[in-house]
Amino acid sequence: MQICILNGSPRLNGNTAELAKPFLEELTTGGAKLINYTLAQMNIASCKGCYHCQDVADEYGCFQKDDMHTVAKSIMESDLIVLMTPIYTWFCTTELKAVLDRFYGLAKFYRSAEGNYVEGKRIAILATHGYDAAYAADPFVIGIQRMCEHYHMRYDGMYSVRDVDDLASFQTKPAVNGAKEFARYLLSKNA
């Protein structure tokens, strides 16, 4: 099983990175091949809404020559995409949002080109947030569920932990065990 990890946190050693440690370790232990992207260290521009990608067949097709082409290739080759993000103002970070908007080139629904390079792929979320999960993350989850419906992908759920004590919140036994359990759950969904 190949998993594309899209880490949208701008803080390289922040809460999301701390929660990700046991999660990624469990995925690796379970035999998954991980392709891990730290989006804050990449050059990924926002979608320009030009539709160029929708006229290019048999490839991603965006005219912007940036790191999204590498990410798109990994997404197309992976079974599961994990969106890792802190929740800022009820949604993901701008780093991850740019990638999500650029998914547009992965499904040719709107112009002369045809093809859906993400159909049947799975998406899961690993998130950190300040409020309780339902209040903090529901708008993001709903957005991802709708994206999955539109692109004919499968939403496999979210694991999240609330920040009540900075990094210590993500090092507790329940947080670590929950992250590992979510990883095992995702691996079992591939069977």
* pLDDT tens-digit series, residues 50-108: 999 999 988 999 999 999 999 999 999 999 999 999 999 999 999 999 999 999 999 99
**In the chain, where are the structural domains located?**
2-189
Per residue in 119-174, pLDDT (tens digit) is 999 999 999 999 998 899 999 999 999 999 999 999 999 999 988 877 777 888 99
Specify the CATH number of the domain 2-189: 3.40.50.360
pTM here is: 0.96
> Distance of CA 183 to CAs 20, 90, 102, 122, Å?
10, 24, 26, 13
Per residue in 29-49, pLDDT (tens digit) is 999 999 999 999 999 999 999
Question: Residue 191 pLDDT > 60, yes or no?
Answer: no
Alpha-helical (H) ranges within the chain are: 15-29, 68-77, 94-101, 133-151, 173-189
Per residue in 106-118, pLDDT (tens digit) is 999 888 888 899 9
Of 150, 131, 178, 181, nearest in space to 142 by CA: 150
Residue 107 bridge partners (DSSP): 116
Spatial separation of the C-alpha atoms in residues 48 and 43, rounded to whole Å: 15
Spatial separation of the C-alpha atoms in residues 22 and 177, rounded to whole Å: 8
**Token digits of residue 28:** 């690796």
Per residue in 23-32, pLDDT (tens digit) is 999 999 999 9
Spatial separation of the C-alpha atoms in residues 31 and 108, rounded to whole Å: 33
Residue 101 bridge partners (DSSP): none
Name the strand (E) or helix (H) holding 162. Answer: strand 154-162
Residue 129 bridge partners (DSSP): 162
